[in-house]
């Protein structure tokens, strides 16, 4: 029978035939796709034709299209609906894909063709985008070891394969720890929780096959439990389970994996001629050097720490007023901060939650996209990767723009966090290819027949991920190599973090923040209180993030630590980490950094992009209209539509007229002097 992964995909919008794919289809599909890609690469490398942009760069771009299609389906499923069989095959597949990548970038004949084009590029009459693609292609080969010889080439190939294996194992260990823990709730422990949290715990229990309500390590369930449970011992148990993911000993312990990963990354950097992995990684980012990153982070750290210490002193007084002795602990902070918010800002998360219905917030996301960019979202019934997922056709002036898929609810088979990916990216080099974009979140699933309720932070996550989706969907370039989010890591978060600002626009909340039971809009006084408290507890939020970024930077800026946990403790001690706050992502569960190379040495990038997003939203505010058409047009023309076809700093300067400093960021976080 024909393998559905290798046949033509005839479903609407060119979607994969999800309903007809079985787990056993992947191994033969990857075998065939890898063989075909290798054959095509060899044809390009061994061609007797003189190198040209078309027969080398464009041909290279198309050589592994089938492999990319199969991989897009596989990694969508293994990250959102994993099974033991898929995870076992992923452990086998990861080093094979790494080896294939090394084969390409270390193919001497292929690189010589690219080098010939590079040295003669002034005579090739290339477009600006083609010149950029050529530069990025050559740079990618060089950074992957194309200039290395002999033992160094072989060693780098081995290092990359081992890193691939370690990243897969880190991810699977973390997911295993998250799956294996839950805490039953009953009696007073359940009765003391607000109704929305009781409903979420009941739904989580059903999803886990438990006899009653449970708390799991899904962030959308665990964080509100830490906010609202008055039982200090239960809060401590939940927090310790959350904080110890990847550090519980046994087969799922990630600490040795982190140490080996850091050692191999340092070796990789040395093989490629860099002093440290951070020097290697940041060389192609906007920040350029570790010193520049540290300078920005410390500009934010000092005022954030000062604010957090002041807040911590107030929360400590509250603990002592409750008759408890000793210091404020990490499992206390959110509970007492929520009580303080209710008192000082007259805000209660339980009062707010019914106004943040998932479906209404999705409407808000789409409404803002329509007002800014003229996009229309129409629900469509198409086969997706999981029954919980939903799809919309995105169009403009009646023309198809993209297919958007949202997969919003937590489940045991889905890795934690939130992200945006593409089943297909936009390009025009071989026909007008429109993207298929996926947003994945982990919100608490409601009981059957009940609306899904979000926290304000959850709603912000929804806007954030759709900002990434807009970057993909509004892409309008020729080559996939520079399409959508194919930009420097410290620029990629600009569109996502910028889009978060529209959640706070009063008329957006006024229209879409409607009560789940009454349908009434959020009262103006509650809306005003919510917006007035937008920077509440920002010292805590900033400290836990910046501490993680500084540890990541330190890990990769010098000799690799023999014991990452000891080095983590030393870094936190050096910067004066408040005792009641922990890193947002401690090393054993720091998936951004250790599940792959994506954010390694680059977790700072959220902050770097925030410098720009705060300044960029001020461009709208300066007009007096958060939906100003001309500013939105500049944003699309200079940032959202052009992907990585030009230098990131050049793109931002074209939009704003200059590069920003951190003043708008500090102001937006309420940390300005």
Between CA 189 and CA 233 the distance in angstroms is 11
Of the chain, the end-to-end C-alpha distance in Å amounts to 69
Query: CA Rg, the chain, in Å?
Result: 25
* Contact yes or no for 300/671 (Cβ under 8 A): yes
Between CA 82 and CA 89 the distance in angstroms is 11
Phi, psi of 649 (to 5 degrees): -65, -35
**Interacting residues of 120 by C-beta distance below 8 A, sequence separation 6+:** none
Between CA 157 and CA 149 the distance in angstroms is 12
Between CA 102 and CA 80 the distance in angstroms is 28
The token duo for 67 is 């492999």
Considering only CA atoms, which of 369, 304, 320 is closest in space to residue 503?
Answer: 369
Between CA 626 and CA 617 the distance in angstroms is 8
Burial of 517 (0-12, 13-18, 19+ CB in 10 A): exposed
Between CA 17 and CA 28 the distance in angstroms is 16
The yes-or-no answer on residue 115 being catalytic is no
**Three-class DSSP category at 132:** helix
* Contact yes or no for 308/302 (Cβ under 8 A): no
Q: What is the 3-state composition of the chain as percent helix, strand, coil, each rounded to the nearest 5?
A: 60, 5, 30
Among residues 425, 465, 500, 610, the one annotated as catalytic is 465
* DSSP 8-class letter at 522: P
Considering only CA atoms, which of 71, 65, 77, 66 is closest in space to residue 19?
Answer: 77
* Contact yes or no for 106/143 (Cβ under 8 A): no
**Interacting residues of 271 by C-beta distance below 8 A, sequence separation 6+:** 145, 148, 152, 155, 156, 159
Helix (H) or strand (E) holding 115: helix 108-119
* Contact yes or no for 243/586 (Cβ under 8 A): yes
Between CA 276 and CA 281 the distance in angstroms is 9
Can you name the residues that pair with 395 across neighbouring β-strands? 376, 400
Considering only CA atoms, which of 103, 92, 93 is closest in space to residue 38?
Answer: 103
List of E strands, 447-593: none
* Contact yes or no for 386/55 (Cβ under 8 A): no
Considering only CA atoms, which of 410, 448, 545 is closest in space to residue 81?
Answer: 410
Residues involved in catalysis: 465
């Amino acid at each position: 029978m024909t393998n559905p992964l290798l046949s033509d995909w005839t479903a609407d919008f060119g979607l994969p035939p999800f309903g007809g794919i079985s787990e056993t289809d992947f191994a033969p599909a990857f075998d065939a796709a890898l063989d075909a890609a290798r054959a095509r690469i060899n044809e390009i490398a061994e061609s007797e034709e003189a190198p040209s942009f078309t027969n080398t760069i464009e041909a290279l771009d198309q050589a592994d299209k089938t492999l990319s299609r199969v991989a897009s389906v596989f990694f969508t499923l293994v990250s959102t609906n994993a099974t033991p069989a898929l995870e076992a095959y992923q452990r086998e597949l990861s080093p094979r894909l790494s080896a294939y990548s090394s084969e390409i970038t270390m193919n001497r004949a292929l690189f010589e063709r690219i080098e010939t084009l590079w040295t003669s590029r002034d005579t090739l009459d290339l477009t600006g985008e083609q010149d950029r693609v050529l530069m990025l292609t050559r740079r990618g080969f060089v950074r992957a070891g194309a200039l290395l010889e002999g033992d160094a080439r072989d060693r780098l190939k081995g290092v990359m394969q081992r890193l691939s294996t370690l990243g897969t194992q880190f991810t699977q260990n973390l997911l295993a720890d998250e799956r294996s823990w839950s805490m039953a709730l009953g009696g007073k422990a359940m009765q003391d929780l607000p109704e929305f949290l009781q409903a979420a715990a009941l739904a989580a229990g059903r999803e886990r096959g438990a006899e009653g309500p449970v708390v799991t390590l899904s962030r959308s369930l665990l964080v509100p439990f830490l906010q609202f449970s008055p039982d200090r011992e239960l809060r401590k148990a939940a927090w310790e389970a959350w904080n110890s993911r990847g550090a519980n000993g046994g087969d799922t312990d990630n600490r040795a994996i982190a140490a080996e990963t850091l050692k191999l990354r340092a070796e990789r950097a040395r093989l490629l001629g860099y002093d440290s992995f951070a020097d290697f990684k940041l060389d192609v980012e906007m920040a350029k050097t570790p010193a520049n990153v540290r300078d920005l982070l410390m500009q934010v750290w000092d005022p954030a720490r000062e604010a957090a210490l002041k807040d911590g002193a107030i929360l400590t007084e509250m603990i002592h007023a409750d008759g408890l002795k000793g210091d404020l602990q990490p499992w206390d902070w959110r509970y007492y901060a929520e009580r303080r918010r209710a008192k000082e800002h007259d805000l209660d998360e339980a009062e707010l939650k019914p106004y943040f219905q998932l479906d209404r917030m999705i409407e808000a996301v789409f409404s803002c996209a329509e007002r800014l960019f003229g996009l229309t979202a129409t629900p469509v019934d198409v086969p997706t990767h999981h029954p919980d997922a939903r799809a919309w056709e995105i169009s403009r002036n009646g023309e198809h723009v993209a297919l958007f898929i949202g997969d919003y609810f937590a489940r045991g088979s889905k890795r934690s966090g939130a992200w945006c990916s593409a089943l297909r990216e936009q390009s025009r080099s071989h026909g007008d290819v429109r993207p298929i974009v996926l947003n994945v979140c982990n919100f608490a699933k409601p009981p059957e027949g009940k609306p899904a309720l979000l926290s304000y932070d959850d709603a912000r996550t929804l806007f954030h991920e759709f900002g990434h989706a807009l970057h993909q969907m509004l892409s309008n370039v020729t080559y996939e190599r520079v399409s959508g989010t194919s930009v420097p890591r410290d620029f990629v978060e600009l569109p996502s973090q910028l889009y978060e600002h529209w959640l706070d626009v009063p008329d957006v909340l006024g229209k879409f923040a409607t009560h789940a039971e009454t349908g009434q809009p959020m009262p103006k006084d509650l809306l005003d209180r919510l917006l007035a408290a937008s920077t509440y507890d920002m010292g805590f939020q900033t400290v836990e993030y910046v501490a993680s970024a500084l540890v990541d930077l330190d890990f990769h800026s010098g000799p690799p630590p023999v014991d990452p946990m000891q080095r983590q403790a030393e870094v936190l001690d050096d910067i004066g980490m408040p005792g009641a706050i922990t890193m947002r992502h401690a090393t054993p569960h720091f998936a951004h950094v250790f599940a792959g190379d994506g954010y390694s040495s680059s977790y700072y990038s959220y902050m770097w992009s925030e410098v720009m997003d705060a300044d960029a939203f001020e461009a709208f505010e300066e007009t007096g209209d958060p939906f100003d058409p001309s500013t939105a047009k500049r944003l699309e023309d200079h940032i959202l539509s052009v992907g990585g076809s030009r230098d990131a700093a050049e793109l931002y300067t074209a939009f704003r007229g200059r590069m920003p400093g951190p003043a708008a960021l500090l102001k937006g976080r309420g940390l300005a002097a």
